Structure 1
Amino acid sequence: MTYATQKLAEEKVFKDPVHRYIHVRDQVIWDLIGAREFQRLRRIKQLGTTYLVFHGAEHSRFSHSLGVYEIVRRIIDDIFKGRPEWDESERLVVLCAALLHDLGHGPFSHAFENVFNLDHEKLTQDILLGDTEVNAILQRISPEFPQYVSDVIAKTYGNKLAVSLISSQIDADRMDYLQRDAYYTGVSYGHFDMERILRVMRPREDQVVIKQSGMHAVEDYIMSRYQMYWQVYFHPVSRSAEVILTKALHRAKELSSSGYKFAYEPRHFKPFFDQAFSLADYIALDEGIVMTYFQEWVHEEDGILADLCDRFINRRLFQYIEFDPAKDYRKLAELEHLFKKAGINPAYYLVFDSSSDLPYDFYRAGEEGERVPIHLLMPSDELRELSRSSDIVEAISGKRRTDHKLYFPEDLLRQDTKKKAVKKQILQLLLGES
């Protein structure tokens, strides 16, 4: 028996609040779960700063990754098995890609990426192909196998059907995180009938398609995604926390480059400040380390770094207002001037932030970011793009919704100290106070 076909002597199961059980039968999957790079995902929250809004949102990328694996396992072992369109030899590469798709996420994910100009998908590929435990396990199947798994995640793999299971507009990744995030945040928006969707999924040469009888379950899924983005993922208070986290890291980076002497040296961050980090440096980082630095930096001599870290640790977040950059750009310039007059650094305390989402789109020739649409399999065996049959989906297709906010420390502006007149002027501009 080769390593690729080796099964566990006894099936392992993980008890899961979303899928009830996650089943592991393949030795390679069990070994990958035990690898240090995968275990690190226990220490990376799935929803970043969202726990500061929804207190239950403490779940990890580890549990999400197991969930994506389980959905893909069910699709290929239960739904696709025996169908001529599905090549059984692709089974293991797709299962490994599903399990490992988020391996490159760093602490607080997107905020950390933005500060240090990182790409978690590229880092996922680096971990798969680098000197890691995960790579060594994958190589036991074949020397080329790590590259195959990487290609599935990078969406460059030759079998587009395999790619679509993990990365498409109706994939296992989205189906897990919508339900898991809804469960842990306690909201009802992310719930949809996954069981129905799985039952009506069918393999085709280049993608998964949905039987026409399952259209309403897919409509529900798309609307669930739409609601989750605006009610949870783009929640303005969570964005406020992310703004503060980002600015604290920017401040530490600026201080490091200026030669500032930290009371608590940022040893783990230094390679990132200097843009000279190794893969080992990246893998060594998790959210516990970031929080340790922030707790220590509360006592730093630099007032901005100390304040921003204290705000994040103790949830003293920025206030926000709606802000239209097209109409209010002159107001922003005036506010920056007044912040400086008040002795408050606008680079760290006056922050414009935007969020946008495109809930569903179909192929638009020549447009940037073309998306493979969801296709319905009609009784006649023809494929029809979803929005041509669904009035609900047609209403939101191709429509990007964008939300702009301006974040600022209202508590600082209300302090009864010097520069009172200037602060009053700022509050008048921001909040309309007389």
Structure 2
Amino acid sequence: MEYSKQKLTEEKVFKDPVHRYVHVRDKVIWDLIATKEFQRLRRIRQLGTTYFTFHGAEHSRFNHSLGVYEIIRRIIDDVFDGRPEWDPEDRLLTLCAALLHDLGHGPFSHSFEKVFHLDHEEFTQDIIVGDTEVNAILSKVNADFPTKVAEVIAKTYENKLIVSLISSQLDADRMDYLLRDAYFTGVSYGNFDMERLLRVMRPKEDQVVFKYSGMHAVEDYILSRYQMYWQVYFHPVTRSAEVILTKILHRAKELHDEYYSFKHHPIHFYSLFEDELTLEDYLKLDEHIILYYFQMWQEEEDKILSDLCTRFVNRSLFKYVDFDPAKQFKVHSQLETLFKQVGIDPNYYLVVDSSSDLPYDFYRPGEEEERLPIHLLKKSGEIRELSRESDIVDAISGKRRTDHKLYYPADLIQDDTTNSEMKQKIRSILESL
């Protein structure tokens, strides 16, 4: 029997707190899970520094990837099966893309990407088509199968229905991470009726649509996503930890560029610092490696690197105040000057961080990050865009919300043993914001 059709002699299951069980019968899927590239995801947290705020948020990209696979498996096997719009020959391709969609995430994910100008989706594609265990398994299906999986993840695959299942404004990826992140953070914001959404989901030529009778379940999902972003993902304490994390990485690179002699040499970072990162180097990076260096760098002679690492390891985070960089840029400049005068480097200890989210958008062709809208299927067969029918969604459609915070080390400006007058002035300015 050809490899793509092979089934396990007995179904394998993963016990899962969100979906109860993750079911695996396809040998290809089971073999992919066993690869070292997929197992690496156990060592990458799903929510980066969120565990500093919500102590339960220790779940991994491995958990999430299995969850997305399970949602897609249920959609294909229970909802789409037998419907003329769905080609069962696409089943394995869709399952593999769902399972592998986050394969290229690095340690602390988005924070890490921003510092080193990386793109996890590009690394995901490189792992799939490169010299890896994952590629060897996918290639056993057929020679061009890895390329097809990579194209689904890149959103360039010709079958847009498959792409929309994994990447759209209401997809399996978002459904799993909202429910999973809500569960592990202990909040109720991300909960929505996924069972109802699956029941009203229908395949169409270019994307998934939802029966009009399920509009309220879709509204519930949109609002849950909105709440999760502002109550969990953009929590200011989490962002404080991210600020320190990024500053540690910036400082380490700056010291490397200045030929600083590290007590604990950043061997795993050399190719990153020198812009010579290979796929092999990238796959060696995980959060255990990063945290090892942070632990060791507490002993460095460079006071900034040592201090920042000590703060991160021991959760001694920066304080924050609301800040409008457009209106208060003069205040920021004044604070920078005062920080320098009291011997605190503002490049590392006075940081403006901004978070922004667009909870739902209608189609804006040609615009950057254009989003395919969510469509409702009426009994007549007419398809209507969600915000045209829902007053709730219409109220937030296309409205980007942005939040700015100014982060600073309160302990350093509270210490009045030196420069007490200037530190008092700093405190007065910050208290006035």
- TM over 0.5: same fold? yes
1:247 counterpart letter in structure 2: K
Partner of residue 243, structure 2? 243
Partner of residue 308, structure 1? 308
Partner of residue 265, structure 2? 265
What SS does the corresponding residue of 2:352 show, helix, strand or coil? strand
5+ residue gaps, structure 1, are: none
Partner of residue 183, structure 1? 183
Question: Displacement, 1:429?
Answer: 0.9
Q: Distance in 2 between matches of 1:329 and 1:395?
A: 32
1:300 counterpart letter in structure 2: E
Partner of residue 382, structure 1? 382
Q: Distance in 2 between matches of 1:237 and 1:25?
A: 42
Instruction: Describe how 1:15-94 pairs up with structure 2 within 5 A.
Output: 15-94=15-94
Question: Displacement, 1:367?
Answer: 3.3
Q: Distance in 1 between matches of 2:368 and 2:81?
A: 36
Q: Distance in 2 between matches of 1:386 and 1:416?
A: 58
User: Normalising by the residue count of structure 2, what TM-score does the alignment of the two structures yield?
Assistant: 0.99
What SS does the corresponding residue of 2:141 show, helix, strand or coil? coil
CA offsets, 1:22-54, max 9 Å, x none? Answer: 000100000000000000000000000000000
What SS does the corresponding residue of 1:327 show, helix, strand or coil? coil
CA offsets, 1:357-398, max 9 Å, x none? Answer: 000011134433221100000010010001111111010000
Note if 1:432 corresponds to 2:432: yes
Partner of residue 413, structure 1? 413
Q: Distance in 1 between matches of 2:342 and 2:239?
A: 25
Partner of residue 279, structure 1? 279
Q: Distance in 2 between matches of 1:128 and 1:420?
A: 58
Q: Distance in 2 between matches of 1:260 and 1:273?
A: 13
Q: Distance in 2 between matches of 1:262 and 1:349?
A: 22
CA offsets, 1:45-90, max 9 Å, x none? Answer: 0000000000000000000000000000000111001101001111
Instruction: Describe how 1:91-170 pairs up with structure 2 within 5 A.
Output: 91-170=91-170
Q: Distance in 1 between matches of 2:431 and 2:87?
A: 61
Partner of residue 233, structure 2? 233
- Contact kept? 2:416, 2:423, Cα under 8 Å: no
- RMSD after superposition: 0.8
Partner of residue 292, structure 2? 292
Partner of residue 422, structure 1? 422
Q: Distance in 2 between matches of 1:104 and 1:292?
A: 21
Partner of residue 343, structure 2? 343
2:169 counterpart letter in structure 1: Q
2:24 counterpart letter in structure 1: V
Q: Distance in 2 between matches of 1:367 and 1:119?
A: 20
User: Normalising by the residue count of structure 1, what TM-score does the alignment of the two structures yield?
Assistant: 0.99
What SS does the corresponding residue of 2:328 show, helix, strand or coil? helix
CA offsets, 1:96-133, max 9 Å, x none? Answer: 00000000000000111111110000010111111110
What SS does the corresponding residue of 2:321 show, helix, strand or coil? strand
What SS does the corresponding residue of 2:9 show, helix, strand or coil? strand
2:175 counterpart letter in structure 1: M
What SS does the corresponding residue of 1:352 show, helix, strand or coil? strand
What SS does the corresponding residue of 2:320 show, helix, strand or coil? strand
Q: Distance in 2 between matches of 1:115 and 1:269?
A: 12
5+ residue gaps, structure 2, are: none
Partner of residue 209, structure 2? 209
Q: Distance in 2 between matches of 1:431 and 1:292?
A: 37
Q: Distance in 1 between matches of 2:186 and 2:353?
A: 26
Note if 1:400 corresponds to 2:400: yes
Q: Distance in 2 between matches of 1:179 and 1:428?
A: 42
Partner of residue 373, structure 1? 373
What SS does the corresponding residue of 2:59 show, helix, strand or coil? coil
2:47 counterpart letter in structure 1: L
What SS does the corresponding residue of 1:8 show, helix, strand or coil? strand
Q: Distance in 2 between matches of 1:331 and 1:187?
A: 36
Question: Displacement, 1:325?
Answer: 1.0
Partner of residue 219, structure 1? 219
Question: Displacement, 1:271?
Answer: 0.8
Percent pairwise identity: 71
Q: Distance in 2 between matches of 1:417 and 1:73?
A: 63
What number of residue pairs does the alignment pair up?
A: 433
CA offsets, 1:218-248, max 9 Å, x none? Answer: 0000000000000000000000000000000
What SS does the corresponding residue of 1:268 show, helix, strand or coil? helix
